[in-house]
Amino acid sequence: MGSVSLKIGDGTARFKKATLCSSAVNIVMIFSVITTNLFALYAFTSSPKHTQILHNNKNISIISEQVSIILREINLSQKKLAQMEKELLGYESIDLSRPNIANELKMFLQHHQLPLGKDSRTGITEMVPSVGHLCEKNSDLLSQYMSYKINAPCNDDWSVAQKLIVKGCEPLPRRRCFSKTVSKVGLNPFPNSLWNPFVRFVKVKSKNDFLVDDVLDLGSSNGGVRIGFDIGGGSGTFAARMAERNVTVITSTLNVDAPFSEFIAARGLFPLYLSLDHRFPFYDNVFDLIHASSAIDVVGVGGKIEKLEFLMFDIDRVLRAGGLLWIDNFYCANEEKKQALTRLIEKFGYKKLKWVVGEKVDSSGSGKSEVVLSAVLQKPVRA
């Protein structure tokens, strides 16, 4: 008699609110575990002894019938247990009965009742931990990420975390382990930390490159440019040039192929570790300036323009009226793409302060030239 394989879960992505009183459910769960174990104990201890004594075929068949009834009971209680766990945690879609689900994941997913009951301002009664819905699709990776020793150093698994993020598991669950500390030696104090080996943004190489000072001049009326957001800003050079002009810029980046976040932070700038698929974690109308390059090209070959539209609406949302959207050397693979982007931008009713379509030699060094669009657009005041 081997182990009993148990697999439960209907795969629905429904979020179900736990309505049961958690302590009562805990008691039921404990009872359920005990009965399950008693059944198992009976099944595993009694059957071999009896089979030795009884050789009669009929008696054996009676026993195996009994055993299968017990197994079914175990199966049923396990199912009930998993269902109760699901209801308790409120995550219908994460299959908690899988054998490799990390305990820390279950612990993290638990809801926490507010100690004083319903909060009168927000109306909530419990705290629900935030976890990306696509985490469930990658539950093996997620369990790997959540398997660690509590209060001990985390595994060196940043690549697992980033793999999950790019697969849509964003936000990631929190963990109770210490991330690896890296001693930061030789950090330069501000403003030397900004580091300026490049001429980017302060010297033009083509007519599609605008100078930061020119763009800041365009935004000088109506409050000027004080805070900005650089989408997919790589190593933070744009933010560095802006910092020299007393403008605070947040740079969103992932550590794809290089430790961009560490590098940006070492420059004394703000790295935002976030994929482009994530809604920007800012309130409406907060930025004076948004800088975006080809990084915002989320429409792949045969992709839908709606994908870019969702992103554009989010950009528009966080940009204040009168604020500037700087599209910097956006690569247009073909005429169709350029027109689609142009139509999309025009739909938003931005004022075109600068608009340059030009050709640029392919940066990969193939010698081929590419069509690029650069623009500075001003968000209108909408009623």
- Residue 4 CB, nearest distance to ligand NAG (Å)? 5
Q: Which is nearer to ligand NAG, 216 or 332 (CB)?
A: 216
The least CB distance from residue 69 to ligand NAG, in Å, is 10
For residues 26 and 59, which CB has a smaller minimum distance to ligand NAG in the complex?
A: 59
For the chain, the C-alpha Rg in angstroms (whole number) is: 29
> Which residues lie near ligand NAG (CB under 6 A)?
4, 54, 56, 59, 71-72, 75, 245-246
Closest CA to 107 of 134, 132, 131: 131
Q: Which is nearer to ligand NAG, 35 or 206 (CB)?
A: 35
- Contact assessment for residue 195 and residue 188, using Cβ atoms and an 8 Å cutoff: yes
Taking the complex as a whole, the smallest distance from the CB of residue 327 to ligand NAG amounts, in Å, to: 24
CA 215 – CA 378 distance, rounded (Å): 11
Q: Which of 100, 95, 179 is nearest to 141 (CA)?
A: 100
Q: Give the side-chain half-sphere CA count within 13 A for 247.
A: 30
CB of 75 to ligand NAG, least distance (A): 4
Closer residue to ligand NAG (CB): 59 or 179:
59
Nearest-CB residue for ligand NAG: 56
For 166, the token pair is 């790019």
Which residue type occupies 137?
Answer: K
Q: Are 187 and 307 in contact (CB under 8 A)?
A: no
Name the residue nearer to ligand NAG (CB basis): 244 or 309. 244
Nearer to ligand NAG, 71 or 254 (CB): 71
Dist CA 330 CA 358 (whole Å):
10
> Comparing C-alpha atoms, which of 35, 34, 50 is closest to residue 1?
50
Give the span between the Cα atoms of 234 and 78, in whole angstroms. 49
Q: Is the Cβ of residue 41 or residue 321 nearer to ligand NAG in the bound state?
A: 41
- Break the chain down into helix, strand, coil percent, rounded to 5: 40, 15, 45
Asked if 338 and 289 count as a contact pair (C-beta separation under 8 A), the reply is: no
CB 131, min distance to ligand NAG, A: 27
Measured at the alpha carbon of residue 201, what is the angle toward residues 200 and 203, in degrees to the nearest 5? Answer: 75
CB 325 within 8 A of CB 373: no
- Minimal distance in Å, beta carbon 50 to ligand NAG? 9
| Nearest distance in Å: CB 277, ligand NAG | 35
- Name the residue nearer to ligand NAG (CB basis): 75 or 155: 75
Q: How far is the CB of 80 from ligand NAG (least distance, A)?
A: 12
First vs last C-alpha separation in the chain: 73
- The DSSP call for residue 131 is -
